[in-house]
Structure 1
């Protein structure tokens, strides 16, 4: 092979490598703000749903038994606790997923070599 031909092949190879890097590069997410808002709404809905279900059950039991709003207050508190528990579980899932994504993105950057040895 002649030297100019080898140079041309190297330039073509470099161009293909650059094109592959550009294809594999992570693209910035334009909908990141909206996904965070969706997660916030999901948590709010979980909390309100717990309160609403607790209120409905308590009010229904109060009507059925003809009692003071004791069941309503009790079940609203239980609904609040269930809503908060569900919110915290959702937040934990979201955090776990985000940490896994960050770890996955950081893994190739470390190179797999032991720097100390």
Structure 2
């Protein structure tokens, strides 16, 4: 029913399909590098989260005790300080990683 020429063409077609699949297969990621924008967004989110949590706690205490917005102001300031501290800790972590990568590339080059 099938002649040898048709079998040969089918084998060639299958080889082409396999080659096309391998060419379009996703390549594994060796290292995930964060762009500067991602790092900046991380720091902004940490700062805003500190402010938001401080605001929520302060507002809740003001509503609970029926006071002027003294607790809200106090906890917003504490939230700001916590957010800045977390942001600085993240910046130090990023700096340590960059310095370690630079030292590693210098060691490989030497």
TM score, norm. by length of structure 2: 0.69
Alignment deviations for residues 66-86 of structure 1 (CA, whole Å, 9 cap, x no partner): 000000000000000000000
After TM superposition, the structure 1 = structure 2 runs for residues 56-67 of structure 1, keeping only pairs within 5 Å, are 56-67=56-67
Indicate the residue corresponding to 1:94 in structure 2: 94
Pairwise CA RMSD: 1.6
Alignment of 1:43-58 (within 5 A): 43-58=43-58
CA distance in 2, matches of 1:108, 1:61: 57
Q: Structure 1: any 5+ residue segments left out of the alignment?
A: 1-28, 111-117
Q: Give 2:14's aligned residue.
A: none
> Is 1:42 aligned with 2:52?
no
Which deviations, in whole Å up to 9, do the C-alpha atoms of 1:28-68 show, x marking residues without a partner? x9x96x61100000000000000000000000000000000
**Distance in 2 between residues matched to 1:109 and 1:36, nearest whole Å:** 25
| Number of corresponding residues | 80
Residues in 2 aligned to 1:82 and 1:58: alpha-carbon distance in whole angstroms: 14
> Unaligned 5+ residue runs, structure 2?
1-30
Cα deviation, 1:75-99, whole Å, max 9, x if unaligned, reads 0000000000000000000000000
> How many Å separate the matches in 1 of 2:94 and 2:57?
30
CA distance in 1, matches of 2:66, 2:92: 41
